[in-house]
Each structure stands twice: as C-alpha cells, then as structure tokens.
Amino acid sequence: MLTSKQRAVLRGMANSMDTIFQVGKGGISDTLVAQTDDALRARELIKLRVLENSGYTAREAAEQLAEQTGSEVVQVIGSRFVLYRRNLKKPVIDLK
C-alpha cells in the first residue's frame, strides 16, 4: 500500500512520462494484461490511456488492470491513468 507521500512522488514522476498502452474497443484482453505485467516488471511505473470507444472509464480500466497485474493505481486523470508495482528483484524506483 502506498502512502500519500509515495503516491505524490510517483505522480510527479509520471507527469513527464509518455503513454505506453491504450485500452481500446477490444477492452482489457489477456494480451494487454500480459504486456502491462511485462512493462511493470521492467519500469515499475507506467501510464496508460483509455480510448472513448473502449466501453470503460479510466477508473474502471485502472482498477481492473491493477487487480489483474497485482499493481496499484497511482492516479486517474481524464482518460489517462498511472499504475505502479515494485519489482522485488531489481527495484528501479527508490521510494522511502
């Protein structure tokens, strides 16, 4: 569970990040979950976007992907959301 200070640090880091995945009309497929899982393992912090034709709100997509990948929702703004999962073997981001 992230503290509010840790969440604030992660939000600041996510501001300059590019969106790497989109949830489209295909919804949240097994492929998207696998790609998100791989990206979280490598980067720990990723930004995603929900397209209008997906049938999901950003909050719904964020919570569903977080549950399926074992990550945490850092923030949801408009159609974009940020997920975080610490890599226990090779941490990339140092949160104190």
List Cα–Cα distances, 21 to 7, 17, 59, in angstroms.
21, 12, 15
> Which residue in 61, 64, 69 sits closest to 19, CA to CA?
61
pLDDT score of 46: 98
pLDDT score of 96: 72
pLDDT score of 1: 86
Each residue's pLDDT, cut to its tens digit, for the chain (96 residues) gives: 899 999 999 999 999 999 999 999 999 999 999 999 999 999 999 999 999 999 999 999 999 999 999 999 999 999 999 999 999 999 999 887
